[in-house]
Chain A
Amino acid sequence: MTSHASSAAADASIPPRTDRRQAGASGEPPAAPRRPGRRTGGAPGEPGLIAYAYVAPALVVFALFLLAPLVYAVQLSFYEWDGLGLGTWVGLDNYVAVFTDPELRAPFGHALVLVVFFSLLPVTFGMLLAALMTRTRVRGAGFFRTVLFLPQVVALTVVAVVWRQIYAPTGPLNDALRLVGLDGFARGWLGDRDWVLVAIGLVGTWVGTGLCTVLFLAGLSKVGRELYESSRLDGAGFWAELRFISLPSLRGELAVALTLTMVAALRTFDLVYVMTGGGPGNASRVPSYEVYDRAIQEGDVGTGITVALVLTVVILAATWLVNRIADDREAA
């Protein structure tokens, strides 16, 4: 424990500096005299073909195990297929179904609820924690950072198993509620249609907050100390400092945190699979679960894959939108 704590403390000062060095270095190589013909990186007369030999192994694996399935996915989305016999060409029917069939639309609605818990809450909490840790010189900052980030590294299956126990009808959460006299609130959280998404969502909040905190801490460490010093002289309190200094300087990190956590929310699978299996009823079915259940369990491959592709487009659109907004603000 001691060695860990000390390494964490010693480490606390490292990331910003290394960050900067790496960032600076990754731009242009130091001003070496550039002669025409030497910029290729190949020795004179050496065929540039050699590059393909280096790229080929990666490209082959990538093409076979990622691109080919992706192309096949698009193809399958135009078929109705049970995974066994011959498929039937149905054109855009599967896509129409995803947008019109309430049973297929519901999971996307559930995913939106999860976005609030997986993304908005962790970003808010992360911002507050990072601001607190930057404003006051916190002793043991490295320790707190390490602990807060910890949920991020535990397998989500494990997380799901643990939280299932916390939410159990006789679990610690209900015990605590009864202890403080809120017996009426105690319930089987994961078996309650109205609460199941909130319960799963809070697990996402638990997982994501540390990541956001660490991202924002890294961002804030690049803000000049003088800026804070002078605002402090002007009598700026915590909230003013957060609003006028920290928030504006964290635009990039905000976009990154929102992107990462939103994608995680939209893709939630492990938690749902282990905690509820989509239930009770269909109350916690999310897109990824729908994909797996339809395509592999129910033999409705075309629909399942179409849900996956629509989900992909939603994720790309969300990512694009968040970064677009961040860029716009930066330009303005």
Chain B
Amino acid sequence: MNGSKRASLTLEIVLILAALLFLLPVLYLVVMTFKEPRLFYKPLAMPDRLYLDYYKLALGTSFFRSMFNSLLVTVGGLALTILVASMAGFVLARRREKLFLFFFYLFMSGMVIPTVGSLIPLFKLASLLHLINTRTLLILLYTAGFIPFASFLYSAFTKSIPRELEEAGSIDGCGSLRMFWVIIFPLLLPATGTFILTNVYGIWNDFLTPLIFLNSPDKMTLMPTIVQFMFNKQSTNYGPVFAISVLAMLPLLLLFVLTQKRMLRGLVMGSVKG
């Protein structure tokens, strides 16, 4: 008994060390932002006082505008997806006609088809629609990308709602749209929560889409802004770049720590479909 206890403690210590190793880059990133320039290129030195100039520099750039843009496309993309996919997922679960089956499989195929090659024709399509360099386009693209997973999620959740509720609604003679938003949608909130907590990271952390479809600094989201900030000069001044990275990462790290359990459940659900 005693031997196994000791073994368990040893294992725990080994795991804590491994965990610290995983945390190290994040801790290093944060610590470095408080180191004054003379210490910055001595990676092992600790900061000897709180040096905040990097943050002043970072905030002096277009940081807040980029943050706002990121927030806008993240909230917009998630909201539009929830709006259209909840309605679609609901009817896909309820109707058995050919048309709905066809769309169910069409959406599901979107989970397998990669969009790598589609980016180029999309660029042309966006030009035709005068959507290049608009945040609206980003919202539409994120929505199109999430529709397969989100409608699948909503249709799976719909099956757990008793049909009697809808019939009760239709007898009262309220329109089907109102019935959906007043009666059904609140019951689908767990699916909405799962969807948001799983996919908020994907949009916030996305680098490729804004890189391709946005070109003016006032529309740019956080991730490409950080990279431009880094590539700006011949030799990168890492201090401010680290500071802006910490600021960009902070909201999501907080969200993750607070909603870890739910997000992990969602991740597993999301990964099952591939």
Is the A/B pair a real complex? Answer: no
